[in-house]
Structure 1
Amino acid sequence: MIEPEGILTLLNSRSFGSIWFWATLLFAWTLVGRRVLGVPADVVGAAGRRADLLGDDPASLLLLDWLSLTLPRRRVGAGEGALLLGLGAFLLTALAVLGFGYGLEMAQALVLLALPFVLVMVLEIRLARRVADVLHRAQTGAPVNQAGAEAARMMRRHRILVTLISVLAVGLTAFYGAIWMLMHPFGY
């Protein structure tokens, strides 16, 4: 049987003083920045540069093909959205209370790690809905080059926003971790 003291001991282990926490933090943010809605950054970068071509731009076609494959995975229905929102809010609140209310270092680290990812997830769901409209217009007869350029523009803007969020998240986590280490030099 799992004992509550064992779970609390796990949550209280050193995280800000562990190289593994910092490696996980940087690795996670590196992975998030490499793709936008599952589309590689080089595909997004190449699309939409030549929206004035007479024929269909191959880069725009490639971007729209990627989107037609990846966007169906990003659909969240109303019931699923409510369930995800409730479960996520419960977990983050529980971790925040354990971390900042009871002073458990691992819970604080998990909140600082997960909260920006929740923000990025919400922004990606919003972007997916907006890009799905552009993709639908392209599939129903809108010019491919214009649709590719519009989708690429929205995705580039999203990538810049995610980069800013990642820089802020890593910086604030590092600042908070340094303060924690100064205030708790022996881990308690």
Structure 2
Amino acid sequence: MEDWYQTAFELIDMRSFSNLWYWIALAVMWSTASHWVLGVPYDMITRARRFGGEAEEDLRDLVRIYVNRLLFIADTTGVWMLAFASFLLTTLALLGFVYGVEFAQAVFLLGLPMGLVFALSIRTARRIKSADGEGLYRMLARHRFMTQAIGMVSIAITAFWGMWQNLALGVL
């Protein structure tokens, strides 16, 4: 039985960048982030744009709910969230890139871009709130495009850094 565990751990490397689960989590995270635009599923946006009527009313209601929720959170705890996120990301960056902790590097490369997406979400929510629904589809589409752009750059940087780490440590 012990031989099986040893074989399994030789096949499945438990380090971050050579672990398949890390890359699955990265893909799921960005897929989910680009599908849910300010908390609203993108298929609902396309359906409302295509058919209008009740689907558009539902979209406007859902966007209003999520925008108000996001702005409430940002207005009440924004400074504390920013301080905590800055502390956490700085700690991860120092541990990862100064002290060489690979797990901290991996979490930092997940967290920093998602922090940018969160800031972008707050910005878009404020614009939607002040626009009173004018150009809603354009703002949601632009937010989704920017989220996907951040995701593509993030995935590329993470992949290059992960390959560099794996080659530098001689895993491959």
TM (norm. structure 1) is 0.77
Contact persistence 1:98–1:107 (CA under 8 A) = yes
Aligned to 2:66: 70
Equivalent residue, structure 2, for 1:23: 24
Give the Å deviation of 1:180: 0.6
Are 1:120 and 2:106 counterparts? no
1:103 paired residue number:
100
CA spacing shift, 1:93–1:59, aligned 2, 3 Å:
same
**Structure with the larger RCO, 1 or 2 (CA within 8 Å, 6+ apart):** 1
Q: Which one has the bigger helix percentage? A: 2
Residue 58 of structure 1: how far off its partner (Å): 3.5
Cα deviation, residue 78, structure 1: 4.3
Structure 1 residue runs of 4+, over 3 Å off? 46-50, 56-59, 76-79
Identity of aligned residues (%): 37
Q: Give the paired residue count.
A: 158
Question: What is residue 9 of structure 1 aligned with on the other side?
Answer: none
Q: Distance in 1 between matches of 2:118 and 2:24?
A: 21
* Greater Cα radius of gyration, structure 1 or 2: 1
* Residues in 2 aligned to 1:79 and 1:71: alpha-carbon distance in whole angstroms: 14
> Is the CA contact (8 Å cut-off) linking 1:48 and 1:153 kept in structure 2?
no
CA distance in structure 1 between the partners assigned to 2:62 and 2:77 by the alignment: 24
- Counterpart mapping for 1:1-188 below 5 A: 14-48=15-49, 57-75=53-71, 76-78=73-75, 80-134=77-131, 137=132, 147=134, 150-186=135-171
- Measured on the aligned residues, the alpha-carbon RMSD in Å equals 2.1
- Residue 103 of structure 1 aligns with an amino acid whose one-letter code is G
Determine the C-alpha separation between the residues in 2 that align with 1:125 and 1:94. Answer: 24
Q: Give distance in 2, aligned partners of 1:173 and 1:77.
A: 28
- Displacement of 1:59 in angstroms is 3.7
Normalization by structure 2: what TM-score? Answer: 0.83
Where in structure 2 are there 5+ consecutive unaligned residues?
A: 1-13
